[in-house]
């Protein structure tokens, strides 16, 4: 199972995106757990395989990478995929990065 954490500044859009990503995972038979968290909740001990940042908090990428000691991939979600809440595109990106 792939554990994804999606981080955003406000949880409104992220919660909708999480729902779309979960639906896309189901449609693609991709075994994943998807969780939404504010980036302030990221710790060095986070249980995740990948951390996805909303475009509006892309400025936190280096800090999040430092916190997780570069042991977990941290990516910024594509602007268009985030704006259109394209769960399939987000899952495709995750699968490509994790080679799944």
The model's pLDDT over 38-68, given as tens digits with 9 standing for 90+, comes to 888 899 999 999 999 999 999 999 999 999 9
The model's pLDDT over 32-46, given as tens digits with 9 standing for 90+, comes to 999 998 888 899 999
pTM here?
0.94
Residues 6+ positions from 94 with CB-CB distance below 8 Å: 2, 4, 32, 50, 52, 100
Residues 6+ positions from 72 with CB-CB distance below 8 Å: 46, 48, 49, 50, 51
Number of domains in the chain: 1
The domain in which residue 43 lies consists of 2-98
- What pLDDT was estimated at residue 66? 96
Domain containing 6 — which CATH number?
3.40.50.2300
CA dihedral 96, 48, 81, 53 (to 10 degrees): -120
- What pLDDT was estimated at residue 14? 84
């Amino acid at each position: 199972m792939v554990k994804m954490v999606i981080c955003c500044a406000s949880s409104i859009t992220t919660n909708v995106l999480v729902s779309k990503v979960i639906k896309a995972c189901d449609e693609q038979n991709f075994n994943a757990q998807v969780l939404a968290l504010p980036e302030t909740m990221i710790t060095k001990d986070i249980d995740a395989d990948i951390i996805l940042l909303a475009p509006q908090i892309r400025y936190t990428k280096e800090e999040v990478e430092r916190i997780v000691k570069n042991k977990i991939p941290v990516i910024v979600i594509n602007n268009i995929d985030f704006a259109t809440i394209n769960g399939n595109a987000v899952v495709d990106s995750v699968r490509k990065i994790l080679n799944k």
